[in-house]
Amino acid sequence: MTIKPELQYSKDHEWLKEEDGLTVIGISDFAQDALGDLVFVNLPEVGDAVTAGEAFGDVESVKAVSDLLSPVSGTVAEINEELLDAPEKLNEDPYGAWIIKVSDVTATEELLDAAAYEAFCAEA
């Protein structure tokens, strides 16, 4: 399992990073592995409000549909439309395949650094 040292992680297995004033959100390698091969991604629309701890979209594998939980509250500034046609990118390259970018962040869930997230995954 890969964990990128430069990213922050939520306990719901999303990764975050700051880029050009926006918060970029994706799912971790641990998450994509646990979910299995993804076949469908449901994303919010640009301009939608997201709330920390609440679902902003969902991903579907052949086993189940799982909510994507937002680690921050804010406004959706960009979505990765490429994922709509190619959900497998989340499996192939979880840290390259960002899901949404959020602006005007007002609240953030408790985040873990790479070392803490690795320990968290080991317990899961």
Partner 1 sequence: MNLIFEKSVKGRRSCILPKCDVEPVALPENLRRETAPRLPEMSETDVSRHYTELNKQVHGVNCGFYPLGSCTMKYNPRIDEEAAAMEGFTNVHPLAPKSTVRGSLEVLDTLRADLCEITGMDGMTFQPAAGAHGEFTGVLLIKQYHDSRNDTKRCKIIVPDSAHGTNPATAAMCGYQVVNIPSAPNGCVDLEALKSVLGDDVAGLMLTNPNTVGIFDENILEITKLVHEAGGLCYYDGANLNAIMGVVRPGDMGFDCVHLNLHKTFATPHGGGGPGAGAVGCKEFLKPFLPHSAMMEMPGRIQVRAFMGNFLVCVRALAYVMTLGREGIPEASTNAVLNANYLMSRIKGTFTPAFDRICMHEFVLDLSQYEKETGVSALDVAKSLIDWGMHPPTMYFPLIVHEALMLEPTETESIETLDWAADVFRKLYELGRTDPETMHGAPHHTPIGRPDEVKAARSPIVRYDFA
Contact residues toward partner 1 (CB under 8 A) are 37, 39-40, 60, 62-65, 87-88
Q: Closest distance between partner 1 and the C-beta of residue 88, in Å? A: 7
Q: Closer to partner 1 by CB, 65 or 107: give it.
A: 65
**Shortest distance (Å) from residue 70 CB to partner 1:** 16
* Residue 63 or 122 with smaller CB distance to partner 1: 63
Report how far apart the first and last C-alpha atoms of the chain are (Å, whole number).
13
The CA distances from residue 71 to 50, 62, 124, in Å, are: 9, 25, 19
* Sheet (strand 38-42) strand order: 38-42, 55-61, 65-69
Distance CA 74, CA 7 (A): 19
Provide the minimum distance between the beta carbon of 67 and partner 1 in the complex, in angstroms, as a whole number. 9
- Smaller CB distance to partner 1: residue 19 or 54? 54
